[in-house]
Structure 1
């Protein structure tokens, strides 16, 4: 209701239809009736203690955290904190200097970049200083509270002027009074006592104003500040089953407005509160549903490349399907952990002896030659970038060729694939061994998969000639099954994982 919109601050009021009002706006409404639904049966406003607790629990980091402030304050108090924050940024008194930081950071900057150590002073004690006029400004610091002051010198008519300011961006902080007794050679002493003036020092070019005793810099352009909310996770979970709340959400009409998720609500008595025993009934908590629907968190696999911000109650489902879930490296002993796309770069950089990572199209047969001593070969699909791994192993006196899709989340709704792998033997096509199978997934948590893992085909060692193994491989994406379709219900479905077909089996389209 407030123009422009301001953060909700307790006490918060709500009408029966869920419209909200802060205390200031409610006091201006005639008869305490909701202005949105006065003709629609919404009724008068009433206190909303549950939302008061939620609003107080929503905390944000100070926007000046990059300048050293470590406070997390309730969102409704963030503006007031920002006005008082001692880490609010200021500029540098040196004209043309691009520094921007807190007063404490300014001390280090001046010492390092302008080689001017700060002059220490203490409150309530006089300090005699001898300052050259060639230096237009000097920094003073009170060590107990780390307050920073700027003493500047300038010309005023035929004489000179001395001004003192406290370097801070927030003028609402505690005021201080100073006494200045300047003296110059061959000139009569002049004394003055005045309140230390507070000026905001921001980025820009310097300006000396000796008459009013202030040194200021031209203000910098206003910058947009993005805030990240910090909220206790308990506010977003059902107090009964402790699972994340998702619409619809119900609240009992008692003083504490005890909550229940949809599943728990169906199992609770409807005419008295399960927690405090108050007589009443449940109703939808539209306000909390809006809050829960807008509460988003970054994917836990953000460090591996996922940029999704997902609704909190959908985060677990997203994590189970995220294509950036980390996997390992097929090389034994390699400590790599990263997404499949990161694995491609890792193999190229750290294991170049296994050859370049091939890019292959789906739906076409292509040839691959591997040395018998080569344990694995990686390649990826041109269409979607999925990473696959062909590996060699020994199983019962035979050489096995297995193929897996490298990913940690291989279940639905991830894309599914089928493959055909042909081991080309010297005797011609009639002697070749072949298998057709659905492609399994592997996160490679223990290195290259075991010889019997995934889709594999075995060939007697004596049938192989030379030092190389010749393969023909084809991979096809499987169609997305219709909702509710049973696995394996169609006659053309893929055989069980790892089950090879006869070498004369035909490719199933």
Structure 2
């Protein structure tokens, strides 16, 4: 069972329309208040079995258009097409769209799957998986080759201390440090202040040479949007910036030697 949110707003003809509302949910919990006044309408908190909003054939979330047979059985548009517009329950023909159900689907919003990790977004029920796959608070795979560990923002420092400490160095912002990558080294961990963590990954590319990829793995306490860096190798030099687009994800800056 999931807490969901509907918003009822009047339209120009005086008829109610069900438009998605915007709100932020902290900690994955919904409010206990059953009804709240909002601009232009009302919001109510309800509990509903989410299976009712899924296709009864493929079990994926329903989304517009939602068609129904003459007896009211519904399924997603894709499944109806595969069944040649014949109902899988009663074999009756599919005759119309379920406009009322479509309006409900458009109105239902739920907390993000990663609300317990800090995501405060309320997402459309039919689009929840799309948001989950792109959520900045989601789990990321460790970039170390052969490591299957997954973690979210704020958890990487401990993982690297336990499993990827060698080779590594501690750094301070605004100061240069020397890094020696031996031939057998595939990565180099950089532990910074405030649990900040960067990673230099080495990869051999056929017919090109050695590629160095700079990741920021975890910056849980920093608000900067750009991090200047400079890499030097003998007479080779490269400079650039690392944009911070999301917290808790891995962003790659490739440089070729």
Query: What TM-score do you get using the length of structure 2 for normalisation?
Result: 0.51
Aligned mate of 1:389, from 164, 178, 199: 199
Change (3 A) 1:388 1:289: farther
> Which residue is 1:217 aligned to?
none
> Which residue is 2:240 aligned to?
474
> Which residue is 1:319 aligned to?
132
Instruction: Name the CA distance, whole Å, in 1 between partners of 2:171 and 2:230.
Output: 20
2:238 paired with 1:238: no
> Which residue is 1:23 aligned to?
none
2:38 paired with 1:229: no
Alignment length (residue pairs): 185
Shift of 1:357: 6.4
> Which residue is 1:504 aligned to?
none
2:120 paired with 1:307: yes
Change (3 A) 1:356 1:312: farther
Specify which structure has the higher proportion of strand.
2
2:75 paired with 1:260: yes
Change (3 A) 1:328 1:237: closer
Shift of 1:258: 0.9
Q: Which SS does the other structure have where 2:240 is aligned?
A: strand
Q: Where does structure 2 lack aligned partners over 5 or more consecutive residues?
A: 1-13, 16-29, 35-43, 182-186, 219-225, 244-252
2:43 paired with 1:277: no
> Which residue is 1:249 aligned to?
66
Instruction: Name the CA distance, whole Å, in 2 between partners of 1:273 and 1:329.
Output: 46
Kept after mapping to 2: 8 A contact 1:304/1:326: no
Shift of 1:298: 2.1
Shift of 1:376: 1.8
Q: Where does structure 1 lack aligned partners over 5 or more consecutive residues?
A: 1-35, 38-60, 64-74, 76-225, 360-366, 381-385, 409-416, 426-431, 435-471, 478-496, 502-509
> Which residue is 2:109 aligned to?
296
Q: Describe how 1:181-196 pairs up with structure 2 within 5 A.
A: none
Instruction: Name the CA distance, whole Å, in 2 between partners of 1:476 and 1:498.
Output: 11
Instruction: Name the CA distance, whole Å, in 2 between partners of 1:258 and 1:289.
Output: 14
Change (3 A) 1:370 1:499: closer
> Which residue is 1:372 aligned to?
180
For the pair shown, the structure with the greater C-alpha radius of gyration is: 1
Aligned mate of 2:256, from 469, 477, 500: 500
Kept after mapping to 2: 8 A contact 1:305/1:339: no
Query: What TM-score do you get using the length of structure 1 for normalisation?
Result: 0.29
Instruction: Name the CA distance, whole Å, in 2 between partners of 1:338 and 1:473.
Output: 29
Change (3 A) 1:355 1:379: closer
User: What is the root-mean-square deviation in Å for CA atoms of aligned residues?
Assistant: 5.0
Kept after mapping to 2: 8 A contact 1:237/1:244: yes
